[in-house]
Amino acid sequence: MDSHNANIITPQERLSLRRVIASANGKGGVGKTSVVTNTGTLLADAGYKVLIVDLDSQKNVAINLGFVNTEADDEGQGLFNTVLTGTTLQPAKNIRENLDVVPGGTQLNALGDLLVGESRRGKQQYRGGVARAIASIADQYDIILIDTPPADHSVHFVDEAMIAARWVIAPLRPERKSVSALQALVRRFNDVADLNDEVQLLGVVIFGVTAGSRMSLAEKDTREDLASMLGDIAPVFSATVRNVPAADADAVRRGMSVVELADAATRQTPFWQALRDGKKQERRITGSANSLAEDYVALGSEIVQELQRQEDLYAAEMEV
Ligand SMILES: Nc1ncnc2c1ncn2[C@@H]1O[C@H](COP(=O)(O)OP(=O)(O)OP(=O)(O)O)[C@@H](O)[C@H]1O
Ligand SMILES: [Mg+2]
């Protein structure tokens, strides 16, 4: 049987997928993509070999990383072909140093149709195909991050991500209703259990907190709700992502990560110098990029620490 038709994930494939983290939540607009692109670029910069896989037809990964309409931007065609034919996945290389990307885009809609169609007929030739595709190259990377669409749009892609992943990071906004969306996500673990009974929640990221020195009431309430819901299943990361629309918009417009934007800000000509020299003002980078960059640095290091802690726990369990 062709490996792409063998609707299972082999133990060998499963092992190679152990550093795959999906960013997922039932809801849209909760920071799934921002967490992937910003922590992904940071980890690559820190020397990890990173792969980002975009399972969203909106291709926000390509937008955030600034490669829309370049040769790298294949609209998801490469991933689609690999899932269909079982050939080796060919990511877009060196989007940054140490960072490759499997782009998303409109071609994923065709794959979504196949997944929906076969599930209606009770078949699963393509289900798990994304996991098999990633497994074909996973050994080349230290960390693989998958960006997912909101589940209420394309639940099959969320499942594909969760079949491929060992870990899930769930970003959510500090609101009561996000906590119920997280409950819906936790239920999805059951839906993929036949192909992946190892995937676990690595942690929750509170996204879009009010910028300020004190913890907002909304964040406090959310932390309490999450603590009672999650118990010791998974931590809520202490690092949060502040709501800084100006810095986010500036980063997206320039196709830079927030940390890259903050770095660029330190290199821009001081405004007084530009004024003195009578130079035409280039569009200045907002000063608020720094605080948001700090958030992502803290979050990136907390994610790596938690991953390490979990892997150590798992290794210890295997020994007894
Ligand atoms: N720190 C921030 N402050 C304010 N707005 C932000 C910040 N980071 C991201 N945004 C904006 O918030 C929106 C949601 O972020 P993002 O795209 O990461 O969420 P998502 O969960 O991936 O959304 P979708 O479900 O549409 O894929 C986007 O418009 C993004 O540009
Ligand atoms: Mg997104």
pLDDT digits (tens, 9 = 90+) for 169-214: 999 999 888 888 888 898 899 999 999 999 999 999 999 999 877 8
Residue 46's nearest CA partner among 243, 230, 296 is 296
Residue 145: φ, ψ to 5°: -110, 130
Residue 89's nearest CA partner among 146, 143, 134, 22 is 134
Neighbours of 55 (CB within 10 A): 26
Residue matched to tokens 């964040």:
219
Using the predicted structure, report yes or no on whether residue 2 has a pLDDT greater than 80: no
Q: What is the CA(57)–ligand 2 centre distance, in A?
A: 9
Q: What is the CA(267)–ligand 1 centre distance, in A?
A: 26
Q: What is the CA(60)–ligand 2 centre distance, in A?
A: 6
pLDDT digits (tens, 9 = 90+) for 108-138: 999 999 999 999 999 989 999 999 999 999 9
Using the predicted structure, report yes or no on whether residue 5 has a pLDDT greater than 50: no
Determine whether the shortest distance from the Cβ of 30 to ligand 1 is under 6 A. yes
- Whole-number Å distance between alpha carbons of 56 and 62: 10
Determine whether the shortest distance from the Cβ of 31 to ligand 1 is under 6 A. yes
Residues 6+ apart with CB under 8 A from 16: 135, 138, 139
pLDDT digits (tens, 9 = 90+) for 23-54: 999 888 999 999 999 999 999 999 999 999 99
The pLDDT-based confidence of 281 (bands split at 50, 70, 90) is low
Name the residue at shortest CA distance from atom 5 of ligand 1.
Answer: 245
Q: Which numeric CATH code is attached to 11-319?
A: 3.40.50.300
| Residue 232 burial (10 A CB sphere; 0-12, 13-18, 19+) | exposed
| DSSP per-residue codes, 78-130 | HHHHHHHH-PPP-PEEEEETTEEEE--STHHHHHHHHHHHHHHTT--SSTTHH
Give ion ligand 2 contacts, CB < 5 A.
32-33, 60
Residue matched to tokens 């010791």:
232
